Amino acid sequence: MQPHSATGSTTGPTPVPSPLLSLPGAVAADGQDEGVAAHYGDLFREQRALAAGTGLVDLSHRGVLTVTGDDRLSWLHLLLTQHVSELPAGQATEALVLSANGHIEHALYLVDDGTTVWAHVEPGTREALVAYLESMKFFYRVEVADRTDDFAVVHLPAGSIADIPEGVAVREVPYGRDVFLPRADLEAYAAAHGPAIGLLAYEALRIEGHRPRLGFETDHRTIPHELGWIGGAVHLQKGCYRGQETVARVQNLGKPPRRLVFLHLDGSDVHLPGHGTPLRLAADGAEGRQLGFITSSGRHHELGPIALALIKRNVPLDAQLLAGDTAAAQEVVVEP
């Protein structure tokens, strides 16, 4: 099963293949991550380099949006789940766009540079997001622009000493920096600040860090509480926004229907269970009742096979699970 698009479609502009796919050993990613390299020939070496604070991850397949104008922050504050009306220049944050029923439709990773809000978003979602933002402009002094053709996102891991070009927007987060690099400079910048790190290494460390991803950890009915996005992407003390009633109701009741878990998978299996693989109680075997599904999986250089999954809230914390035919032990990410 391919990752689900929260906006109802995985279609969009065909991604322009990254010039870094011409590097030695590059193997192209597929599915939602088409257009960049899955790896450059040695997955675990790339993971170790990233964990040590070296190298660069090509995220140039992601969409890049900007919002300019005097009302940009106050306007976005009305639409997003995050408190951004007084966002300091240079402070990174993330935010969601919800449906009227509180289901996650979009995830934005943004920063304001003092004159412009820069955001990167999942591949295939930018057109729908731009259309929604344009429909909500009304009388506000804002301009929304799709800058994907001109700018590419690259990720530098925490501890990287790579130079940042002057005037370039940067999101600094605990696990590294997202740089909004002029697309024309991508190849030269990678050559100067490599080695290039493939997306599989980046994803394995994302899974280890319990960081949810739109379209992977979400489906058409996911609410923020299920993924631990309360606080990080959802501010509970801000004004109204679409879907806020659901957020408040679930927060007060404390009972989201599902919860995100981290899984240690049986390392003896050659096959890695992919997105959508059913989860059942090990005691019930492969014919037991489905309790959830794998959302993301990867091979970690230290932990071995790992995954994130969405399971029913009432599954016991110590329950041993089966992901397809693979044994899985859970760690709590979102408390039940």
CA 30 from centroid of its chain's CA atoms = 16
> How long, in residues, is the chain?
336
Specify which residues 279 forms β-bridges with: 292, 323
Q: What is the mean pLDDT of residues 128-138?
A: 97
Q: For the segment 91-125, what is each residue's pLDDT rounded down to a tens digit? A: 999 999 999 999 999 999 999 999 999 999 999 99
The domain tally of the chain equals 3
Last residue of a domain, one of 209, 226, 244: 209
Quick one: pLDDT at residue 251? 92
CA gap 108, 90 in Å, rounded: 16
CB atoms within 10 A of CB 146: 15
55 and 121: one domain?
A: no
Return all residues near 188 (Cβ < 8 A) that are at least 6 apart: none
Last residue of a domain, one of 146, 161, 178: 146
Residue 256 and residue 114 in contact, taking contact as beta carbons nearer than 8 Å: no
Quick one: pLDDT at residue 8? 36
Question: How open is the CA angle 100-104-106, to the nearest 5 degrees?
Answer: 110
- Look up the CATH number of the domain holding residue 134: 3.30.70.1400
Residue 46 and residue 197 in contact, taking contact as beta carbons nearer than 8 Å: yes
Peptide bond into 195 cis (omega under 30): yes
- Look up the CATH number of the domain holding residue 282: 2.40.30.110
- The proportion of the chain whose per-residue pLDDT surpasses 90, expressed as a percent, equals 90
108 and 161: one domain?
A: no
118 and 190: one domain?
A: no
Report if residue 86 sits inside a domain.
yes
Asked if pLDDT for residue 286 goes beyond 90, the answer is: no
Choose among 186, 229, 154: nearest CA to 23.
186
107 and 169: one domain?
A: no
Q: For the segment 74-85, what is each residue's pLDDT rounded down to a tens digit? A: 999 999 999 999
pLDDT tier for residue 14 given thresholds of 50, 70 and 90: low
Quick one: pLDDT at residue 16? 83
Residue 158 and residue 176 in contact, taking contact as beta carbons nearer than 8 Å: yes
173 and 55: one domain?
A: yes
Report if residue 251 sits inside a domain.
no
Q: For the segment 199-226, what is each residue's pLDDT rounded down to a tens digit? A: 999 999 999 999 999 999 999 999 999 9
Instruction: Locate the DSSP E strands across 99-244.
Output: 104-112, 116-121, 143-146, 151-157, 170-173, 176-182, 196-197
pLDDT tier for residue 2 given thresholds of 50, 70 and 90: low
Residue 140, judged by CB atoms within 10 A of its CB (0-12, 13-18, 19+), counts as middle
Quick one: pLDDT at residue 6? 40
pLDDT tier for residue 255 given thresholds of 50, 70 and 90: confident
CA gap 311, 292 in Å, rounded: 4
119 and 157: one domain?
A: no
Residue 84 belongs to what domain range? 63-146
CA gap 288, 281 in Å, rounded: 7
81 and 109: one domain?
A: yes
Return all residues near 2 (Cβ < 8 A) that are at least 6 apart: 10, 31, 32, 275
Q: For the segment 152-192, what is each residue's pLDDT rounded down to a tens digit? A: 999 999 999 999 999 999 999 999 999 999 999 999 999 99
Report if residue 232 sits inside a domain.
no
Q: pTM for this structure?
A: 0.94
109 and 129: one domain?
A: yes
CA gap 111, 119 in Å, rounded: 7
Report if residue 119 sits inside a domain.
yes
CA gap 250, 155 in Å, rounded: 34
